[in-house]
Amino acid sequence: MADTLLDDVGGLLREAADQAVLPLFRKLGDADVAEKAPGDLVTVADRRAEQFISAGLRRLRPNSVVVGEEAVAEDEGLLRHLRGTGEVWLVDPVDGTANFAAGRQPFALMAALLDGGEPVAAWVLDPLAGNLATARVGEGTYLDGRPVRTSEGVPAAGELRGVAMTRFLPPASRDRVRAGEQRIGELLPGQHCAGREYLDMLVGRQQFALFWRTLPWDHAPGALLIRAAGGVARRFDGSEYHPADEGHGLLVAVNEQVWTEVREALLDG
């Protein structure tokens, strides 16, 4: 029997978007939005979508564990499962909640599957653009059902295009990024939706993305998508990114040489 996991989870994310997220877009009331922490928003759509997705994933894999962003907000102990045995799901029910709450796009629904502590499959859905990216270790990355590879081309450093999320960077790192900006062709302001940044690398709109905060549900799906498509996702020091690792700083690029050029331009100073 064919393994339909990629399609099954992709379909589940589409259902969650259609039933729990999109009906509330630009229709949220004041009581539908709250702060989990200063500046960290959650909406009724986040909670409904996580419940919907989590229930569906448990039906698909009855012995699996679901670690969702909103569940972790209530119980940080759930993060211990990311280093555990068996199958563990990471779920971001609405990535880009601030955008969603303000009635802006983009936002995304994301999931990743870990098996024995290692990421093995990933899904990122932008429901408004209609883009669904999926990946499985050993099988490559698919965008809207078609195989996709990140660019193997290496523009000159002055022609590179990407995003550097500087808001949470330490002052010294922020200063290095700003000093190196002139060596990059175009440093984008960022879309406040990690899922869309990863999708834009897959479709060729940008060649890199630099982040400081690396919450696992924000980056485990996208990092696997990029790696399975031929790209690179590493910490600033060059160590491979793993969603269970604590720490900060992540540079993702469409290929090895772009990663090196961006690090030299923006981080080495």
Measured CA to CA, the distance from residue 14 to residue 145 in angstroms comes to 14
Tell me, what amino acid is at 8?
A: D
245 three-class SS: coil
User: Pick from 165, 158, 163, 138: which is nearest to 229 by CA?
Assistant: 138
Sign of CA dihedral 135, 137, 139, 140: positive
**H-run or E-run covering 222:** helix 216-228
DSSP 46: H
Annotated binding residue 8 = no
Q: What are the phi and psi torsion angles at 49 (to 5°)? A: -65, -40
Annotated binding residue 69 = yes
Annotated binding residue 95 = yes
In 44-101, the DSSP E strands lie at 65-68, 87-95
Q: HSE-up of 31 (CA within 13 Å, CB side)?
A: 0
Sign of CA dihedral 190, 246, 125, 109: negative
Please report, for residues 70, 94, 157, 221, the alpha-carbon distance to residue 218 in angstroms, rounded to integers and kept in the order given. 12, 10, 27, 7
Annotated binding residue 218 = yes
Binding-site residues for Mg(2+), please?
69, 92, 95, 218
Binding-site residues, please?
69, 92, 95, 218
